[in-house]
Structure 1
């Protein structure tokens, strides 16, 4: 009977295909955040650099959560390459605007995953996606806040640096309800 269960769990589904693609999307998001962090680091803006280095780790951890879920459900996993990140920018605001667009795009991808799980009748997959839906609300909100602060600073990045020193933007990756990541979260 155990082999029958394994065959049922390991069947290909639209949800599993989208989840596999999302692993690549999350790694690409991580790489983009590293590029943003390095740009801010090169501009001697350490709080902004730190913020985006943390975001990069968070996206990496999200990818590894997806990998763990796939492995736990006997779905073969192939780690994809990533898209080349954008590295050249003119203004600091452009970086945060890109980050916001990226989070909005990831939100659309996560919603599509939750919908596919429901359409496939994959109740375990649908439940798994609930944490990611909640996480995306926080991710988009924190990037909107950071963009608003940048706009209010009117080009004075030291105001933004001070804000990031004083305030917490985002959840800092410490959500105890987060799914486990393959190899452990960093």
Structure 2
């Protein structure tokens, strides 16, 4: 059975959004690199890699369902951060935006009764809940401990320990 055109279009657009997210998180990582906070930078480099995984998983889903996606230009991130907290809040706002996009993909799949796409998107819905929680936790930690140089140092060391794990829940 051919994939519904509305579903393929929204998933194809989501690939571009995930690729933009990777650029956006690289921008945040670079901000923290410039600040000398390599742990925070590490956290966002890993976020960047995860976004690439998400794009590749959506691409694979489309290919496996006999639809070849078209790669579009990726918008340049224009974020400028006034503070470390500002950068973290921009990360949370972006995750909330991506959650809205994923919910839209799910709604489109639901509206045409594409159960297979809905099942695949269930993983993304759950992932976005985790992403938002992590972003909120980073903000809370910064507010509680980041104003003190020793606390900021400890947070940076904690985030430096994060290790990238390639996505295995969905095929790439």
Match of 2:36 among 44, 54, 59: 44
- CA shift at 1:121, angstroms? 1.1
Using the TM superposition, name which of 14-23 and 132-141 deviates more.
Answer: 14-23
Q: Could you tell me which residue of structure 2 aligns to residue 97 of structure 1?
A: 89
**Structure 1 residues not aligned, in runs of 5+:** 1-7, 182-186
Using the TM superposition, name which of 114-123 and 137-146 deviates more.
Answer: 114-123
Q: 2:97 is paired with a residue of what secondary structure?
A: helix
Answer yes or no: is the 8 Å Cα contact 1:149–1:160 preserved in 2: no
- CA shift at 1:76, angstroms? 2.1
Q: Could you tell me which residue of structure 1 aligns to residue 105 of structure 2?
A: 113
- CA shift at 1:167, angstroms? 6.9
Q: 1:57 is paired with a residue of what secondary structure?
A: helix
Q: 1:121 is paired with a residue of what secondary structure?
A: coil
Q: Could you tell me which residue of structure 2 aligns to residue 88 of structure 1?
A: 80
Which structure 2 residues correspond to residues 31-70 of structure 1 after superposition, within 5 A? 31-70=23-62
Answer yes or no: is the 8 Å Cα contact 2:38–2:156 preserved in 1: no
The CA distance in 1 between the partners of 2:45 and 2:80, in whole Å, is: 17
Q: Are 2:123 and 1:131 aligned?
A: yes
Q: Output the aligned Cα RMSD.
A: 2.2
Q: Could you tell me which residue of structure 1 aligns to residue 7 of structure 2?
A: 15
Between 1 and 2, higher relative CO (CA 8 Å, sep ≥ 6) is seen in 2
TM-score by length of 2: 0.90
How many residue pairs are counted as aligned between the two chains?
172
- CA shift at 1:33, angstroms? 0.3
Answer yes or no: is the 8 Å Cα contact 1:40–1:46 preserved in 2: yes
Q: In 2 relative to 1, CA 167–45 (structure 1 residues): closer, same or farther, beyond 3 Å? A: closer
The CA distance in 2 between the partners of 1:150 and 1:86, in whole Å, is: 23
- CA shift at 1:32, angstroms? 0.4
Deviations 1:67-98 (A, max 9, x none): 00000001121112212113422211111100
**Structure 2 residues not aligned, in runs of 5+:** none
